[in-house]
Structures are given as structure tokens and as C-alpha cells.
């Protein structure tokens, strides 16, 4: 007699709580649930916050707004939506963006699929049943076949690793957790630690209200004017007429914006022509100053140095005190090799009597005290401290969920030295899990990346279903190739030297100190990314194994 060993059968769909679960109800989760429910799937969205919106639900700090032109940030997939929505400002402020996302959810009746206040603690893959089992913070367990992680890329705030942080007795918070009720800053001594893109939006607003604002700066950041403006009915009507053209343009530029590179070589034009271009870009709005540029500024030290000196000069002109101006101009990195913050009166804010720059490069913080901060040369007392000290970018949200794939392998272990993915969407050993988007995706104008990744991951899952597959996984070889491609782009660009979340730097996280490079982003640009994804889909997903 011979023993017949039957392979365990995958769990039938009827046995699942949901066929698909989306984690996160931000810009990505909202679009993903629309796609899945359009297919008639039994799907839900689990969101840990009390409502939808993701980034735009959380970050309610004064000055929070897009650095993307509003009409390039909105979803492109519904003509009705494009026809109905009126963006009132070129760079939408947080309340309007949250209103927009609610408008979308209500228009397409998506709230019915969302569950709020649901933290996912763990996800375990069952390689017999071809299912994921999710354990929720509220004690519930959910079994599903497909998981879409719509975690966002900058959703886990980090507080400073400074001795004494728990001793402080005043009010303190990270901008991500800015209170939802109004904060009265009048008569208050306010400190802000950090000068990243977030702080650069907050500082001018807080300075208008607070009795005194202290900016605690460790490294200055390059920044350039946003030049926001109102969009009236007439301009909005024109934008509506041009939406096809606008989205087509965004699909052609590396950054997913209307702003695209100048195809001339830096060196083939005269210095006067370069200056003429730079003046125009500096006076223009949005990311033109960063992205409508000669490619050499991202690749060549000499070109970058010349342009950085131009921006330094423009910055100096805006600050009354020349000594202070020099402290606000970076010397450790060139313009544009880190994500460039856009600002409204940021540098002029330092001309106010109620604003003090505390230069931590000269006198570092020794400790946080009960009443404020002690640096190596002074003590400061504050009523409120704002820790604008960045995020555990890309992988932080994944580390918060105990994700165990095939053979119990933990994603956190696999990514210990940095993320490894296929297209920033799949991870070998973690079948049926799709990141929309994840680390190593082409992080461009964010909703453009969201649409690209959702529009790839959804048909991939449909392809599996249509062909009777209950499991798919990135092949190990294809994942390695994608990792090498990501590394290759870093190697070609000055960004590789940047002390920034794009290279995994965050001084507040052990293992993320400068020099421990993590290849967080695919830097090959949106169009190339799209081409590679399109080719993979057209060829029947050769880089994915189906079971
Ligand atoms: P960030 O760029 O990482 O900046 C963090 C800041 O905190 C840096 O100035 C850093 O100084 C400082 N810092 C961190 N730990 C510190 C410590 N222990 N002591 C003193 N200083 C400390 O973070 P972010 O400003 O929140 O911006 C993150 C990203 O969010 C941006 O790059 C952008 O992509 C996104 N964002 C987008 C928008 C928008 O689209 N409108 C707005 C805001 C933010 P060092 O440089 O010395 O480390």
C-alpha cells in the first residue's frame, strides 16, 4: 500500500472574511477600495485613525499644504470628479484636501467599506490555505486572500532622541499629531526643533501668533518660494478643459509634475542663459526651481555648486542680518539633492523681532529640561515645543505590523538593512501582499505614484484570479534585479551622499545614522517606472511566480 500525500487545498473564497483587505484609508487606500469594489469584490479598508484621509487627516499644523499643484494632486480616474471639484488654491491647504478626500469617498459611496480605529498588529501568511490572517488591536482576527498595504511613505513620526525628553512639563507634540482642536499661541514662547519641509511651512505661521518663536536648527535646508495663488472660476474652468493635457504631461516628466527638465546641457548654454532661466524659475511657482532644470545639477558637483551659489545669493537678499543669513544657508550639501522644501516668507520670518534662531551646530542640545532645552551654552524656557523631527520613512509603518510571510519569515528581518522589493509593490516571500506604493517605487507627485501602483497591482490580482491562482509571489531573481536597478540610480546621482530620508537617514532611529544607506526610492523617474510596469503586465508578469 502506498501513502498518497494530498497537498493541502487553498481555502475557498467563501471561507474568507474578506477576499481583500486594504490597510490605510489615505489617498492610496481610497483609490484601491474603489478599484476593488468596482470589481464586485468583498473587500474592506482598515484604518487606525478615527477617519479617512491619512496624511491629510493627521497633519493639521498651521501652514500644512501641498507643494504639488492642486490639480496635479487630485485623482485622474473620474471625469465626473474632475468636472465637479473646484480647487480654490494652486497649492491646496490641508483642510481643503481633507474635504476633497471626503468628497471623493462620499461621491463614490466608499465609506461603507471602511472601518476606523482599527490598528493591525500582525499579518501571518498561511502557505497551505493561501491566506493572510490579520490580528487587530481590538482583538478581532480577519482572514483574507489579498492584502494591499496603503500605509503611506511618511506616516510614522519620530521624536528626537534627546536625553530628558520625558521630563519636559510644557505642551509638546510632533506636527503629525498637531491637536485637532484650535491651539492658541498668543502670548506663548514656542520652540520648534527641526528645519525640514514641515517646519519650513510651520515657522512663518507660528511666528505670526506666538509671543516668541525659537527655531532650533541643527542643519539648515535649502528652500525656495512656493508662490501660492487663488484659483478663480475662470482659471478652474480652463484647468478642467486641460486636464487630459495636464495628466499627460505629468506622465511624461520624471517627477510626475508639470515641471520637467530642461533638455539642454548645463554646459552648452552660457552663464547668462543659465541665470535667466534660474531667475524665471525662482520667480515661478512650485517645484519648477527644482525640477525644470538641467539634469547636471543632480549628477555633477560642479554644476550643482554653481546653482547652489545662485540660490544662496537669492536667500541672502531676503534676510536683513548677513551673519544670520549665512547660518540659514546649507554648506554641507547642494541644492536639490535632498527633497526641496517650498516656502512662503520663510526667510523673511527671521527678520521679525519675535523670532530667534538657535544654532545647534554651534551649541548642540545637551538635554531637554522640565521647562525647555539646555544647550552647551544657554538654557531656554518654552511654553510649547514642536518636535518637527521627521518620520521613520518608508519602512517605519511596515515595522509597526508584525508581518510574517512564507515559513514565518519576518518582513522586519528581511528589511533589517533596508528595503528589498520588486517594483516597490511586491516582496519575495510575502505572497499576495501588494504595497501601493511601497519603498523602491518611483516616488513622484504622490497621487501619480498611487495611481500607477494601484493600476498595476489590481490587474495583477485579477490576472491571478482569472487563471485560478490563489497565490502569487515576486520571483527572487526579479527582486534582486530591481534592487540592483535602484542602487544603480543612487550611484549615478548626487543624492547618494544626502543626509536625508531618501537615503534612510534619521538620527533619531538606531541603525539609520548617516552612512547606513537604505535604498528607499526608485530614482529612475516616473515614465521609466511606468514603462517597466507596463511591459511586465503586457508580458504576463514574468517576474511573478503564480501558484
Ligand atoms: P525631515 O525633512 O526629515 O526634517 C527633520 C528635521 O528635524 C531636520 O531639520 C533635522 O535636522 C531635524 N532633526 C531631527 N532630529 C533632530 C534632533 N534630534 N535634534 C535637532 N534636530 C533634529 O522631516 P519633515 O520636515 O517632516 O519632512 C519630511 C518629508 O515630508 C518632506 O521631505 C516631504 O517629502 C514631506 N512633506 C511634504 C510636504 C508637502 O508636500 N507640502 C510638507 C511637509 C513635509 P538634520 O537635517 O540635522 O537631521
* pLDDT tens, residue by residue, 360-388: 999 999 999 999 999 999 999 999 999 99
Could you tell me if 258 and 112 lie in one domain?
Answer: no
- 344 in contact with ligand 1, CB cutoff 6 A: no
Range of the domain at 479: 13-156+393-546
Could you tell me if 404 and 382 lie in one domain?
Answer: no
For ligand 1, the distance from its centroid to the CA atom of residue 456, given in whole angstroms, is 31
Residue 505's Cα: distance from chain center in Å?
15
Specify if 163 maps to a domain: no
Q: In angstroms, rounded to a whole number, what is the distance separating the alpha carbons of residues 341 and 389?
A: 14
Count Cβ atoms within 10 A of the Cβ of residue 423 and give its class: 0-12 exposed, 13-18 middle, 19 or more buried. buried
Q: In angstroms, rounded to a whole number, what is the distance separating the alpha carbons of residues 309 and 329?
A: 10
Of residues 383, 445, 442, the one with CA closest to residue 172:
383
- Overall number of domains in the chain: 2
Asked if residue 419 has pLDDT above 90, the reply is: yes
Could you tell me if 447 and 530 lie in one domain?
Answer: yes
Residue 101: give its domain's CATH number: 3.50.50.60
Q: Is 91 helix (H, G, I), strand (E, B) or coil?
A: coil
Specify if 97 maps to a domain: yes
pLDDT band (50, 70, 90) for residue 500:
very high
In 10 A of CB 179, how many CB atoms? 10
- In the 3-class helix/strand/coil scheme, how is 102-130 assigned residue by residue? HHHHHHCCCHHHEEECCCEEEEEEECCCC
Specify if 142 maps to a domain: yes
Could you tell me if 217 and 357 lie in one domain?
Answer: yes
Could you tell me if 108 and 223 lie in one domain?
Answer: no
Nearest-CA residue for atom 35 of ligand 1: 197
Specify if 348 maps to a domain: yes
Specify if 283 maps to a domain: yes
**Per-residue pLDDT tens over the stretch 291-305:** 999 999 999 999 999
Per-residue pLDDT, averaged over 437-441, amounts to 98
For ligand 1, the distance from its centroid to the CA atom of residue 157, given in whole angstroms, is 10
For ligand 1, the distance from its centroid to the CA atom of residue 414, given in whole angstroms, is 26
User: What cell does 453 get?
Assistant: 501602483
Q: In angstroms, rounded to a whole number, what is the distance separating the alpha carbons of residues 116 and 109?
A: 16
Could you tell me if 342 and 458 lie in one domain?
Answer: no
- Choosing from 387, 418, 451, the residue where a domain stops is 387
**Atom nearest to 507 CA in ligand 1:** 15
- Choosing from 359, 387, 415, the residue where a domain stops is 387
Could you tell me if 347 and 485 lie in one domain?
Answer: no
Residue 537's Cα: distance from chain center in Å?
26
Position 3 scores a pLDDT of 54
- 160 in contact with ligand 1, CB cutoff 6 A: yes
Per-residue pLDDT, averaged over 199-211, amounts to 98
Specify if 7 maps to a domain: no
Could you tell me if 84 and 204 lie in one domain?
Answer: no
Element (H, E) at 19: strand 18-23
Specify if 5 maps to a domain: no
> What integer best gives the mean pLDDT of the chain?
97
Asked if residue 2 has pLDDT above 60, the reply is: no
- 198 in contact with ligand 1, CB cutoff 6 A: yes
Nearest-CA residue for atom 45 of ligand 1: 219
Could you tell me if 349 and 444 lie in one domain?
Answer: no
Q: In angstroms, rounded to a whole number, what is the distance separating the alpha carbons of residues 409 and 31?
A: 30
- Choosing from 362, 387, 412, the residue where a domain stops is 387
Q: Give the range among 2-11, 111-120, 420-429 with minimum mean pLDDT.
A: 2-11
Specify if 171 maps to a domain: no
Could you tell me if 400 and 358 lie in one domain?
Answer: no
Verdict on whether the full-model pTM lies above 0.85: yes
| Helices of type H across 256-300 | 271-283, 288-291, 296-299
DSSP-assigned letters across all residues of 199-246: HHHHHHHHHHHBSEEEEEESS----EE----B--HHHHHHHHHHHHHH
Could you tell me if 348 and 476 lie in one domain?
Answer: no
Q: State whether the Cα torsion 496-498-503-508 is positive or negative.
A: positive
Q: In angstroms, rounded to a whole number, what is the distance separating the alpha carbons of residues 4 and 282?
A: 74
- 197 in contact with ligand 1, CB cutoff 6 A: yes
Asked if residue 6 has pLDDT above 70, the reply is: no
**Per-residue pLDDT tens over the stretch 391-408:** 999 999 999 999 999 999
Of residues 221, 202, 216, the one with CA closest to residue 362:
216
Could you tell me if 446 and 489 lie in one domain?
Answer: yes
Amino acid at each position: 500500500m502506498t501513502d498518497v500525500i494530498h497537498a493541502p487545498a487553498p481555502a475557498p473564497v467563501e471561507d474568507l472574511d474578506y477576499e481583500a483587505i486594504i490597510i490605510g484609508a489615505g489617498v492610496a487606500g481610497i483609490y484601491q477600495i474603489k478599484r476593488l469594489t468596482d470589481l464586485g469584490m468583498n473587500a474592506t479598508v482598515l484604518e487606525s485613525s478615527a477617519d479617512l484621509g491619512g496624511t491629510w487627516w493627521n497633519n493639521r499644523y498651521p501652514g500644512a499644504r501641498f507643494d504639488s499643484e492642486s490639480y496635479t494632486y487630485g485623482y485622474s480616474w473620474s471625469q465626473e470628479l474632475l468636472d465637479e471639484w473646484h480647487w480654490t488654491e494652486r497649492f491646496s491647504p490641508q483642510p481643503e484636501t481633507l474635504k476633497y478626500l471626503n468628497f471623493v469617498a462620499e461621491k463614490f459611496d466608499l465609506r461603507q467599506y471602511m472601518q476606523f480605529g482599527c490598528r493591525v498588529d500582525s499579518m501571518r501568511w498561511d502557505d497551505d490555505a493561501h491566506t493572510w490572517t490579520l490580528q487587530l488591536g481590538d482583538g478581532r482576527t480577519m482572514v483574507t486572500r489579498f492584502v494591499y498595504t496603503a500605509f503611506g511613505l511618511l506616516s510614522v513620526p519620530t521624536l528626537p532622541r534627546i536625553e530628558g525628553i520625558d521630563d519636559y512639563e510644557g505642551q509638546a507634540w510632533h506636527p503629525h499629531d498637531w491637536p485637532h482642536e484650535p491651539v492658541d499661541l498668543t502670548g506663548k514662547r514656542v520652540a520648534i526643533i527641526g528645519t525640514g519641509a514641515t517646519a519650513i511651512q510651520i515657522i512663518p505661521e507660528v511666528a505670526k501668533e506666538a509671543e516668541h518663536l525659537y527655531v532650533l536648527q541643527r542643519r539648515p535646508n535649502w528652500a525656495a518660494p512656493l508662490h501660492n495663488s487663488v484659483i478663480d472660476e475662470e482659471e478652474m474652468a480652463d484647468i478642467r478643459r486641460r486636464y487630459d493635457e495636464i495628466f499627460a504631461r505629468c506622465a511624461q516628466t520624471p517627477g510626475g509634475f508639470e515641471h520637467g527638465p530642461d533638455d539642454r546641457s548645463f554646459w552648452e548654454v552660457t552663464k547668462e542663459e543659465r541665470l535667466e532661466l534660474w531667475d524665471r524659475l525662482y520667480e515661478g511657482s512650485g517645484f519648477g526651481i527644482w525640477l525644470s532644470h538641467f539634469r547636471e545639477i543632480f549628477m555633477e558637483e560642479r554644476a550643482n555648486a554653481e546653482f547652489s551659489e545662485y540660490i544662496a545669493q537669492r536667500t541672502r537678499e531676503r534676510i536683513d542680518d548677513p551673519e544670520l543669513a549665512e547660518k540659514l544657508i546649507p554648506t554641507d550639501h547642494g541644492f536639490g539633492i535632498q527633497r526641496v522644501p517650498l516656502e512662503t516668507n520663510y526667510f523673511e520670518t527671521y527678520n521679525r523681532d519675535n523670532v530667534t534662531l538657535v544654532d545647534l551646530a554651534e551649541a548642540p542640545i545637551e538635554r531637554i529640561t522640565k521647562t525647555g532645552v539646555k544647550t552647551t551654552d544657554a538654557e531656554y524656557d518654552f511654553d510649547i515645543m514642536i518636535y518637527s523631527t521627521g518620520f521613520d520613512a518608508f519602512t517605519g509603518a511596515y515595522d509597526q505590523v508584525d508581518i510574517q510571510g512564507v515559513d514565518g519569515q519576518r518582513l522586519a528581518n528581511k528589511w533589517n538593512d533596508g528595503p528589498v522589493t520588486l517594483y516597490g509593490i511586491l516582496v519575495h516571500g510575502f505572497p499576495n501582499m501588494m504595497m501601493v506604493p511601497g519603498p523602491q517605487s518611483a516616488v513622484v507627485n504622490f497621487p501619480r505614484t498611487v495611481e500607477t501602483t494601484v493600476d498595476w497591482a489590481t490587474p495583477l490580482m485579477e490576472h491571478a484570479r482569472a487563471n485560478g491562482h490563489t497565490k502569487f509571489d515576486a520571483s527572487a531573481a526579479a527582486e534582486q534585479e530591481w534592487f540592483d536597478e535602484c542602487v544603480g540610480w543612487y550611484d549615478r546621482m548626487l543624492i547618494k551622499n544626502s543626509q536625508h530620508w531618501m537615503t534612510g537617514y534619521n538620527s533619531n532611529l538606531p541603525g539609520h545614522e548617516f552612512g547606513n544607506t537604505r535604498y528607499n526610492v526608485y530614482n529612475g523617474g516616473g515614465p521609466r517606472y511606468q514603462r517597466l510596469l507596463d511591459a511586465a503586465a503586457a508580458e504576463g508578469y514574468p517576474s511573478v511566480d503564480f501558484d
